[in-house]
Amino acid sequence: MEYFVVAGGSPLAGEVHIAGAKNVALKAFVASLLTDEEITLHNVPLITDVFFMLDVLKSLGVSVRIEGNSVRIRNGHMKKSTVPLEVGARLRTSSLVLGPMLARIGKARIPNPGGCRIGARPIDRHIEGLMKMGASIAYHSEDGYFYASAKRLHGTVFTFPKNTHTGTETLMLAAVLAEGETVLKNAAEEVEIDDLIGLLRAMGADIRRRAPREIVIRGVGALHGATYTIMPDRNEEVTFAIAAAVTGGNITVRQSVRGHLGAFLSAFQKAGGRAEIIDETSTRYSQPGPIRPTDIVTRIHPGFMTDWQGPWALYMTQANGISTVHETVFESRFSYVSELRKMGSSIDFFDPPVDDPESFYNFNWGDRIEGYHQAIRISGPTQFHNAVLVMEDLRAGATLLLAALTAHGESYIHGIEQIDRGYERIEERLCALGAKIIRKREEKL
Ligand code: EPZ
């Protein structure tokens, strides 16, 4: 296994190009199953989740060619209908293939994507919608697979009981070839979905957002090949912005997507951060003055994105005073807290009073496990000392890497395969900004 050795304490300065959005690329690959013609995707981030998803496609008999940050996919008459457990279980998004497989071959057998380190993450909302479109889906606990079949998916009017980003995408991917019209109500508004809509329309799908939280899809007979460029990754941009702020440097982000970062930019400004517009697609991030304690509550789009809350909490450990982070999308997304405490930060858990938790929180309230908390109170500033840290999940990984860059002295970070899932060549790009990070391989004893 590999680990990072990080010598923290130096300000980061320079330019960085934001990579393509992981949470678009993964779904774009799935969309390619909807046609036998070639799909070419540009600006694909070369991260392990991308390679995992390409393995899922290859397990279905799809041919894949990677050329730099472009991927050519030709789904020559998808033959297989099973995603093997060892392939599908690595990636929650593998369940997205359900829709296209039902649409194309009428059956699918996929492993339960189930929980991961940030919560139970069931797909009940996906299943409910697909069943309304005529699929029959059963979960067999004896082998951990979902068995699905459908003679012909048909259009329906489906109202999501609660927001679901990939649930909305699952039903879009199923509806574009279904018979008749599908109307998705209470559909998610995350910007990655709009990029997927852009690709589907380039493939000939009849799909559009008709009103807030409402998507209309009219099924067509077939989709054709397309070439599409994935939008930049807003989670990357937030990570580099906070890296500039906590190290006292300044980072110019190229391929900046300010339009996707509204809630972050207003919180960042409240905290004394500066986001200087350089040009249409470039933003320079810095922290000209002291970091002001600023409370945030994560929300579905267009609110403060849950993927940003770990790096934000790290930012607030450097603020002068008390800040709170209230996580409302996932039920267990504070795995980084124990690690930040190792570096000296003072963070307490608490649960803000909420009248009706089932409707207030985006997760299913019944999925919580005893001992979970939904909020943390951070008192800063903390001069981090170095430590040995372990990354538990992708965004917690980014949080710990930022913490090590903030600390004085040399820190060791294990579990770095987590950050490799979502950030391309992260240490190379940070070192180009002045960071001192070395990737090492643990010696076999
Ligand atoms: C997507 O996850 C993203 N992942 C997440 O990014 C992101 O944090 C999240 O949307 C919110 O925007 C991808 O796009 C691959 P949800 P998703 O369905 O679709 C519960 C990252 O780090 N729920 O909107 O899984 C669910 O457990 C990742 O890049 C159900 O209970 O999120 C969660 O608590 C992390 N039943 C909440 O709802 C369902 O059927 C929101 O889930 C579906 C969801």
Q: What is the pLDDT of residues 12-24, one digit of tens each?
A: 999 999 999 999 9
DSSP assignment letter at 367: G
E-assigned strands of 307-444?
321-326, 346-350, 375-380, 388-390, 409-414, 436-441
CATH of the domain at 146: 3.65.10.10
* Residue bearing tokens 């679901």: 164
Q: Which of 96, 329, 335 to mutate to test ligand 1, by most ligand atoms within 8 A of the CB atom?
A: 329
Are 6 and 413 in contact by the 8 Å Cβ rule? The answer is yes
| Pairwise CA distance, residues 413 & 211, whole Å | 46
> Residue 192 and residue 235: Cα distance in Å, rounded?
11
Q: What is the 8-class DSSP label of residue 60?
A: T
Triad 307, 309, 310: Cα angle to 5° = 95
Whole-number pLDDT of residue 79: 77
CB of residue 317 inside a 6 A radius of ligand 1 = no
- Picking from 178, 211, 229, the residue at the C-terminal end of a domain is 229
Same domain, 97 and 65: yes
Q: Where are the alpha helices (DSSP H) in 133-248?
A: 165-175, 191-202, 234-247
Average pLDDT over every residue of 358-363:
96
Residue 273 pLDDT exceeds 60: yes
Beta bridge partners of 225: none
Alpha carbon of 24 to ligand 1 centroid (Å):
13
Does residue 323 sit in the same domain as residue 199? Answer: no
Domain coverage including residue 160? 22-229
CA distance 401 to 381: 18
Start-to-end CA span in the chain (Å): 12
Ligand 1 center–CA 418 separation, angstroms = 17
Q: Do 378 and 353 belong together in one domain?
A: yes
Domain boundary among 199, 229, 259: 229
Please report the pLDDT score of residue 137 as a whole number.
Answer: 95
Q: Which two tokens stand for residue 308?
A: 């940003």
Cβ-contact 232, 192 below 8 angstroms: no
pLDDT bucket at 91, cuts 50 / 70 / 90: confident
Give me the helices (H) in 2-62, please: 22-31, 48-59
pLDDT of residue 9: 94
Q: Say if residues 390 and 344 touch (Cβ distance below 8 Å).
A: no
Give nearest CA residue, ligand 1 atom 1. Answer: 165
- Domain end, chosen from 229, 249, 271, is at 229
- Same domain for 399 and 277, yes or no, is yes
Please report the pLDDT score of residue 445 as a whole number: 65
Preceding amide of 290 cis, omega within 30: no
Round to whole Å and give the CA distance between 35 and 25: 17
Cα dihedral 224, 227, 233, 237 in deg (nearest 10): -160
- Determine the average pLDDT of the residues in 324-329: 98
Q: Cα torsion at 405, 18, 441, 84 (round to 10°)?
A: 130
122 lines ligand 1 (CB under 6 A): yes
Q: Mind listing the pLDDT tens digit for each residue in 208-246?
A: 999 999 999 999 999 999 999 999 999 999 999 999 999
Q: 340 and 413 share a domain?
A: yes
- For residues 289 and 66, what is the distance between their CA atoms, to the nearest angstrom? 44
Ligand 1 atom with minimal separation from the 167 CA: 18
Listed residue (240, 403, 224) closest to 318, CA to CA: 403
Ligand 1 lined by 409 (C-beta under 6 Å): no
User: DSSP character for 213?
Assistant: T
Say yes or no: 244 and 301 in one domain: yes
Give the Å distance between the CA of 121 and the centre of ligand 1.
7
Set 89, 116, 297, 322: catalytic member? 116
Q: What is the mean pLDDT of the chain?
A: 95
Judgement on whether residues 12 and 69 belong to the same structural domain of the protein: no
Ligand 1 neighbour 100 (Cβ under 6 A): no
pLDDT tier at 76 (50, 70, 90 boundaries)?
confident
Shared-domain flag, residues 225 and 239: no
* 276 and 384 share one domain: yes
Same structural domain, 206 and 272: no
With bands split at pLDDT 50, 70 and 90, how would you rate the model's confidence at 115? low
Angstrom distance (rounded) from CA 51 to CA 223: 25
Pairing of strands 388-390, 409-414: parallel
Let me know whether 389 and 350 are in one domain: yes
The structural domain count of the chain equals 2
Q: What is the DSSP string of 299-358?
A: -STTSB-GGGHHHHHHHHTTSSEEEEEE--S-S---TTHHHHHHTT-EEEEE----S-HH
Q: Mark whether 431 is an active-site residue.
A: no
Question: Are residues 51 and 7 located together in one domain of the fold?
Answer: no
At 201 the three-state DSSP class reads helix
- Ligand 1 pocket check: which of 23, 91, 95 to mutate, most ligand atoms within 8 Å of Cβ? 23
Residue nearest to atom 4 of ligand 1 (CA): 23
d(C-alpha 183, C-alpha 185), whole Å: 6
Interval between CA 263 and ligand 1 midpoint (Å): 18
Query: CB under 8 Å to 124, separation ≥6 — which residues?
Result: 364
